[in-house]
Structure 1
Amino acid sequence: MEARLEKLRDSRVVVTGGAGLVGSRLVGLLRRAEAEVTVLDRLDAYPGPVHTTLFGVDRLGADVVAGDICDREAVRRVLAGADYVVHAAAYADVAACTRRPGTAFRANVQGTEVVLEEAAASDVRRLVLVSSAAVYGNGDPSIRGPQVFREDQRLLPVSVYANSKLWAEHQTRLLLSGPDTPEYAVLRYFSVYGDPQIPKPGSHSWMVAWLSMQARLGRPMRLNGGGVQVRDLVHVDDVAAATALALVEEGMAGATVNVGTGVPTSVRAVGELIAQHFPEAEFVTTPLPEGDPLGGYAATEQCRELLRWAPRIDVRSGVERYVRWLADTPHAVPEWLAAGPAA
């Protein structure tokens, strides 16, 4: 992979949302490939200085610009002279988008429109849009059990967040399909996890982080809906690698590709993997949150063919790495979570 990323040497890459979990990992990878990187991020996705203390965005050698993708002038400034763009900035929380659809619309629709319009008017070579497996919803309602999600199947989103991501995909194709526009590629991330991921207040996303921290605090691990939902857990290191490759692989021009492992894992199975490290761990069943899909797993033929990529970290190894990191980094448990029961 390192040899393939040599195409990025001395190029200038803009990463919107680059101070988040995936973004910061991607920025580190791009810097190792000797690309110049500019991050545009509001830096307010988490309470406290998470972006610097845990994600370390200030130590990656990138130019970090605190700004909003809805600010057209800020977007125009960071795109000036850029060769590539990864648009990862989003209100990326299913529960929060359900509670605050207006905020989701502003960030995920209005902000994306600004980024796309400014990219279309720039000299950028390629834009990679970060989308989500949430666009698949529960898949084909006539099929029972875990489903494989294929890029060309009918999309039936079941949440505000998923709707906003599906709109972003359509709008990217609409605005960047002309002869004088940048190339584009769309990546549908499945369930990203891995250190130093931490939960957000009021969120039910990021199950590895949630369940691991509940167990570490000696609390029951909450299984929403009994944990029957199926997820395709893909480690953040693998996601960052796939995203970097999407910038340079010729076959990705105009393509939409799943970023997942192709392995279905239930939420309960994740909890059981975590429980192996906490002998006193217990489970409690809680209601299924609104907009939480039953899920499925990724078809991986397209990513293997077009990205020439396959994930390297299986879920058992990834969960073990996370639990070990949490043991070595106890201060990573957010104060709001340690102070009382999970929201």
Structure 2
Amino acid sequence: MDHRSDLGALAGATVLVTGGAGLIGSRITARLRALGARPTALCTMNAYPEQVYADLFGVRVGDPGLVVGDVRDAALVRELVAGSDYVIHAAALADVAACTREPLAAIDTNVAGTQNVLDAVAATGRVRRMVFVSSASVYGDGNPEETDSLELLTMRQLLESVHGRIPPQFHEFTHTRPKSVYGNTKAWGEKQTALVLGQAGTSYAIVRYFSVYGEPQTVKRDSHSWVVAWFAARAHLGLPLHLNGCGRQVRDLVHVDDITEGTLRALTSARAHTETVNIGSGVPTSVRTVARLVQAHYPNTPLLETPLPAGDPFGGYAATRRMESVLGWRPRVTITDGVARYVKWLQATPAAAPHWLGREAAAA
């Protein structure tokens, strides 16, 4: 399924992308430019070192359309929203571990910053649609009573490999049960988007990203997110792969190219009005399986079982029927191909493995 999309509506349109210099935001703004849109990226540029933005994401201070600023700056947000036809609100403190360590910082950016964006969008009356970027973290570990038995039966052979555990499939109507500060802030953002923009009569869509990966993603110190990047970087440097919680967690891994396409379709599809849509592959993959896929490219890499970090859910995978129906589309990049692409990119871009991780390898 890949229906004709409404992306042509973006030609000539001004699109504000908060968080627009990060991995996903930079990919979205590049795609918008290719579609003939005029994107404005608002970003603090402080989530990574400057060379990561410049050398990996291709974003430099002074670039046309880049505004270095913060969604917590209400006046700046109002100014940028007032000139926008569309808004994609992707800015967030998005690292689960960082949100757990600094809950007030997460609330400041993910709650107060989101309210600034919603207030500005509701006030202008010009924005044709806003997309709020949420996360599968709102589901937590799901509700074992809420399953699709037919789909589970058809997936059983695949799921038997996940340490004897059948993970939940997350439907958009599933009750949200976040297990982390990050998930809590995203669940709040979803409700607040529907409340504020619903009352203002402004079109909106909510997209729940599952586990995003893909080149040029790079890892952050003290984070347990971004499992493909972590495993590939560690294997590349000859370090063991840490299987937190024995690697039993399940992730629905979605390549950043597919995340970009799904987000823009949610921005323009007539059927996406007021909808909440999963952006996932619909395929459950255990963390241990990801380790094995990376290990296939680095055969001498050992696996090391480690404790499960706080706030790290066992997870599940996306129900994709609504996504396919509303967006007329499904992701294209498989996890096997995506890991191979990432490893090939990393081998061609060795600087993507951070210096501090290299020092750990040298000391091992």
TM-score band, normalised by shorter chain = over 0.9
- 8 Å contact from structure 1 (residues 18, 89) kept in 2: yes
Amino acid aligned to 1:155: T
SS at match of 2:360: coil
Q: CA-to-partner distance for each residue in 1:50-97, whole Å, 9 max, x for gaps?
A: 112110124997500000100011101111221000000000010000
Equivalent residue, structure 1, for 2:248: 228
Equivalent residue, structure 2, for 1:56: 58
2:231 to 203, 211, 228: 211
**Could you tell me how far apart the structure 2 residues matched to 1:167 and 1:62 are?**
33
SS at match of 2:212: strand
- 8 Å contact from structure 1 (residues 121, 181) kept in 2: no
Amino acid aligned to 1:32: A
Equivalent residue, structure 2, for 1:265: 285
Quote the offset at 1:182 in angstroms: 1.9
**Could you tell me how far apart the structure 2 residues matched to 1:67 and 1:48 are?**
15
In the alignment, is residue 136 of structure 1 matched against residue 139 of structure 2?
A: yes
- 8 Å contact from structure 2 (residues 4, 328) kept in 1: no
**Which runs of 5 or more structure 2 residues have no equivalent in the other structure?**
148-164
2:261 to 241, 244, 260: 241
1:92 to 84, 91, 94: 94
Equivalent residue, structure 1, for 2:117: 115
Count of matched residue pairs: 341
Quote the offset at 1:2 in angstroms: 8.2
2:355 to 311, 335, 339: 335
- 8 Å contact from structure 2 (residues 5, 265) kept in 1: no
**Could you tell me how far apart the structure 2 residues matched to 1:165 and 1:4 are?**
27
Structure-1-length-normalised TM-score: 0.96
Equivalent residue, structure 2, for 1:201: 221
- 8 Å contact from structure 1 (residues 126, 185) kept in 2: yes
SS at match of 2:198: coil
- Could you say what the CA RMSD is over the residues aligned between the two structures, in angstroms? 1.7
**Could you tell me how far apart the structure 1 residues matched to 2:61 and 2:344 are?**
23
Amino acid aligned to 1:244: L
Structure-2-length-normalised TM-score: 0.91
Amino acid aligned to 1:145: I
Equivalent residue, structure 2, for 1:254: 274
**Could you tell me how far apart the structure 2 residues matched to 1:38 and 1:302 are?**
29
Percent identical residues:
51
In the alignment, is residue 45 of structure 1 matched against residue 47 of structure 2?
A: yes
- 8 Å contact from structure 1 (residues 69, 107) kept in 2: yes
Q: CA-to-partner distance for each residue in 1:290-310, whole Å, 9 max, x for gaps?
A: 000000000000110001110
2:191 to 167, 170, 185: 170
**Could you tell me how far apart the structure 1 residues matched to 2:79 and 2:121 are?**
11
Q: CA-to-partner distance for each residue in 1:181-207, whole Å, 9 max, x for gaps?
A: 321000000000000001111100000
* 1:316-331 map, 5 Å: 316-331=336-351
- 8 Å contact from structure 1 (residues 39, 62) kept in 2: no
SS at match of 2:77: helix
Equivalent residue, structure 2, for 1:286: 306
Equivalent residue, structure 2, for 1:13: 15
Equivalent residue, structure 2, for 1:148: 169
Quote the offset at 1:332 in angstroms: 1.0
Q: Is the alpha carbon distance of 1:138 and 1:107 closer, same or farther for their aligned partners in structure 2, counting shifts above 3 Å?
A: same
1:24 to 23, 26, 47: 26
Q: Is the alpha carbon distance of 1:3 and 1:188 closer, same or farther for their aligned partners in structure 2, counting shifts above 3 Å?
A: closer
Equivalent residue, structure 1, for 2:73: 71
SS at match of 1:76: helix
Which shifted more, 76-85 or 10-19?
76-85
Equivalent residue, structure 2, for 1:81: 83
SS at match of 1:40: strand
Quote the offset at 1:145 in angstroms: 2.1
Q: Is the alpha carbon distance of 1:107 and 1:59 closer, same or farther for their aligned partners in structure 2, counting shifts above 3 Å?
A: closer
SS at match of 1:73: helix
Equivalent residue, structure 2, for 1:106: 108
- 8 Å contact from structure 1 (residues 31, 62) kept in 2: no
